[in-house]
Amino acid sequence: MRNDRPANAVLDKSFSFALAAISLSRKLQSLHEFVLSRQFVRAATSVGANVEEAQAAQTKPEFHTLMSRAEKEARESHYWLRLIRDSYTEVAADAALLLDSAQELKRILAAITKSTKK
């Protein structure tokens, strides 16, 4: 991770998750699976994009909305990963590892949205 900004766990985890998602997506495409690949990588990269955008939120409600959106995208990513894991034995191990990351992101983002809703 580059040192061009202070450490932020959810930013770092969502960025790493997106990079791993891109790698898995490429593997799926090499298996000629384009639909699941596209759906999954869109949701997975959107997690980090929303977290990044939330860092520039000007109000607490705007921050909450963006982090809620990131949580929803993490949930969607988790869904696609389950489908990928159970449909493609060639990448099942990769998908299983990413499922753990998606679950962790869901927990972190749920805690953030819960605390900012008050």
pLDDT digits (tens, 9 = 90+) for 49-70: 999 999 999 999 999 999 999 9
Q: What CATH number corresponds to the domain at position 83?
A: 1.20.1440.60
pLDDT per position as a tens digit, 13-48: 999 999 999 999 999 999 999 999 999 999 999 999
Q: Can you tell me the mean pLDDT for 73-91?
A: 97
Helices 92-117 and 35-54, axial angle in degrees (round to 10): 30
Give which of 18, 23, 10 is closest to 93, Cα–Cα.
23
Confirm whether 91 is domain-assigned.
yes
Q: What does pLDDT average to over the chain? A: 94
> Tell me, what's the pLDDT at 118?
66
> Tell me, what's the pLDDT at 113?
96
Share of the chain above pLDDT 90, in %: 92
What is the rounded distance in angstroms from the CA atom of residue 30 to the CA atom of residue 25?
A: 9
Q: Residues 48, 49, 51, 52: what is their CA dihedral angle, to the nearest 10 degrees?
A: 110
78: domain range?
Answer: 9-117
Say if residue 71 is exposed, middle or buried (CB neighbours under 10 Å; 0-12, 13-18, 19+).
buried
The one-character DSSP state at 3 is S
> Tell me, what's the pLDDT at 6?
61
What is the rounded distance in angstroms from the CA atom of residue 88 to the CA atom of residue 66?
A: 32
> Tell me, what's the pLDDT at 1?
42
> Tell me, what's the pLDDT at 117?
83
DSSP SS3 for 5: coil
Number of domains present in the structure of the chain: 1
> Tell me, what's the pLDDT at 5?
57
Confirm whether 1 is domain-assigned.
no
